[in-house]
Amino acid sequence: MVLAALAIRTMTILLTTLNARYSHASLGLRYLLANMGELQPVTQIQEFVIGARSTDIVEKILALRTPGEKFIVGFGVYIWNVIETTQIVAVLKRVAPDVVVILGGPEVSHETGDQEIIRLADYVVTGWGDVSFPALCQQILQGPQPLMKVHAGLQPPMAEIQLPYHLYSDQDIRHRTLYVEASRGCPFKCEFCLSALDKTAWPFDIDQFLQEMEGLYQRGARLFKFVDRTFNLNIKTSLKIMQFFLDKLEAAPHDPVYAHFEVVPDHLPDALKEGIQKFPEGSLQFEIGIQSFNTEVQALISRKQNNDKAAENIRWLCEHSHAHLHVDLIAGLPGETMESFAQGFNKLVALGPHEIQFGILKRLRGTPIIRHTEAYQLAFDPQPPYTILANKDIAFADMQRLIRFARYWDMIANSGRFSHSLPLILADAAFENFMALSDWMFANTDATHRIALDKLAALVNKWLLEVQGTAAEAIQLAMSSDYAGQAMHKQGNKSDPSAPPRQTRKEASREAAKSLPQRQARHMAA
C-alpha cells in the first residue's frame, strides 16, 4: 500500500514513552522508528521522564502536531510508567480527542480487557510492534479504518527487523545508557517472569549486530547494556560478542569499554570462563538471576536451576574474574518462607557477589505465577508495580519488613558506601543481623527514603555500638575507611582526565572507574 506523497509530507506520528530516568534511552521506540518504512520521515521520537506533570507533557506532545492534520501518538507502556501514562492519555483525549492514541509495550500486552488506559486509547498493539505498529498506522492513515481495538503484534523473521542503533543520537551516546540486544526471548519458564511466555530465544544475525556495535563504538559509545534475557545461552555467540569487546579493550586500554550482560548462573563452560578472565577490572558486569536457592520453590515456579553449579560459578567469578557481579534474589515467591529466604540470602552473601539485588515478587500482567494464588494465598497490591503484600507463609507485617530490608540493603550494602562497615553489620548471620538493623532503623527514623548519607552513617554507627555491642575502635576504623574510600573516589572523578599514552591494566581500570556507574566504581575503590 503506497501513501500519497502529499499525505506523507503533512502527517505526523509521534513515538513517546516515559523513561524511569533521563539516562535510560528507550530501545523500544528506536526499534519502532527504524521499522516505520515509508512512514519514517514523518515519524519522530520524543521521550519524557516519570515525575513530570501530565499537563506539561500533553502540552509538549500537542506542540508537535501540524494543525489540521491527523496526528498519531504511540505510547510505550511499562510497569514503571503505566499510572502516569494513563493520566497523560486521559488529559490528551480530553483536550484533543481527534489525536489517535496507540498503546504498546508489556504492560498493555496482556489482560487487555480490564485496564483503564486501554479504555481511553484508540488502539493497542500487543507483543512485538516492529511490523504491526507501522501497518496499523498505514491503515489509520489510508483506511479502511481498523475495526478492532486490540491488535496482536506479528513476530516477523528476525532478519526482517531493521536494527535501530544508528538512531541513538550523539547526545544519547555521550550521556545515556545504550541498551542493545543480540537476541530476544528466553527458553526458560520461570513463572514470575514475562519472558516465560516466549518459550524460546531468537537471535539476531550476529555479524550484522556486531557491525552495528562497531558503528556505535566508532561514534564514541563505551557503555553497552545488553538486554538479552540470557547472554550465555549460545556459547559460540557469547564468545564472539566478548571477543568484540576484548579487541576494543586491547586496542585502546586507556579508553575502555564497559559491557553489562544478564547470565544464567549454572552454565559457564570453560571456553566462556577463559574469555571472562581476560576482561580487566571495571569493564564487565554480570546480572545473575538466582531468585531462590529453595528447590521446592524452584519446582513450584518452573525454574530450572542447578543450585550447586550456580553457587560454584558465582564463587569462581568472584575469585577468578574481575566481573562486577549483581545477583538477583526474589522474596515472596510461593512456598518461600522467611527462614528459607534467609538461608538462601546467607548462602549468597557467603559467595561474595558485589551486589545482591533483593527484589520483592511482583505480579506482572500475563505471567503464570497467578496459578498459585489460591493455594499459596498470594495477595498482590492492585496498583502497579503489583508488589506482593502477603502470602500463606509470610504475613503482611513481615512482607513489609522484607521490603524495608531491601531498601536499606540497597542504601547500605549495594551502594558500596559502607564496604568496610558491612562485614561488621553482617558478621556471621547476614540476614538476621541486617534484618535487626533494618527493624531498628525504621523504628528510629520512620523512613526508608531520603536519609542523608551522614545521617545514615551515624545510624549505622549507633546501631553497631549500642545495639550490636561492636568495639568502638573497630567501628571507627571501618567507618573512616568507608569515608576515605568515598573521598578518594570523589577526587578520582575530579582528576585530570588526560591519560598517558600507554597504561597498565590497573591504571586503565582506574580510568574506567571514572566513567563507570557510581556503585561499581565504589566497589572497585573499596
Per rule CB under 6 A, is residue 195 in the interface with ligand SF4?
Answer: yes
Q: Which of residues 193, 351, 369, 464 is near ligand SF4 by CB under 6 A? A: 193
Cell of 324: 562486577
Tell me how many residues contact ligand SF4 (CB under 6 A).
Answer: 11
d(CA 29, CA 76): 7
Closest CA to 191 of 342, 325, 373: 373
Cell of 152: 496482536
Residue 234: CB minimum distance to ligand SF4, A: 14
Residue 238: CB minimum distance to ligand SF4, A: 15
Task: Evaluate whether 258 touches 222 at the Cβ level (below 8 Å).
Answer: yes
Per rule CB under 6 A, is residue 196 in the interface with ligand SF4?
Answer: yes
Residue 290: CB minimum distance to ligand SF4, A: 10
CA angle 420, 423, 427 (to 5 degrees): 160
Residue 451: CB minimum distance to ligand SF4, A: 31
Q: Which is nearer to ligand SF4, 229 or 326 (CB)?
A: 229
Cell of 125: 498493539
Per rule CB under 6 A, is residue 357 in the interface with ligand SF4?
Answer: no
Per rule CB under 6 A, is residue 225 in the interface with ligand SF4?
Answer: no
Cell of 33: 522508528
Task: Evaluate whether 38 touches 8 at the Cβ level (below 8 Å).
Answer: yes
Site for ligand SF4 in 251-270 (CB under 6 A): 264
Residue 305: CB minimum distance to ligand SF4, A: 9
Q: Which of residues 186, 263, 441, 516 is near ligand SF4 by CB under 6 A? A: 186
Q: Which of residues 13, 32, 72, 190 is near ligand SF4 by CB under 6 A? A: 190
Cell of 471: 568495639
Binding part of the chain for ligand SF4, among 73-81, 83-91, 190-198, 475-483 by CB under 6 A, reads 190-198
Binding part of the chain for ligand SF4, among 16-24, 90-98, 181-189, 270-278 by CB under 6 A, reads 181-189
Which residues are CB-contacts of 230 (< 8 A; sequence separation ≥ 6)? 186, 187, 188, 201, 262, 263, 264
Return the sign of the alpha-carbon dihedral for residues 176, 89, 163, 4.
negative
Task: Residue 196: count other Cβ atoms within 10 Å of its Cβ.
Answer: 21
Which residues are CB-contacts of 115 (< 8 A; sequence separation ≥ 6)? 108
Task: Evaluate whether 226 touches 261 at the Cβ level (below 8 Å).
Answer: yes
Site for ligand SF4 in 285-344 (CB under 6 A): 289
Q: Which of residues 133, 179, 188, 217 is near ligand SF4 by CB under 6 A? A: 188
Per rule CB under 6 A, is residue 229 in the interface with ligand SF4?
Answer: yes
Residue 324: CB minimum distance to ligand SF4, A: 19
Query: Would you tell me which residues interact with ligand SF4 (CB under 6 A)?
Result: 186, 188-190, 193, 195-196, 229-230, 264, 289
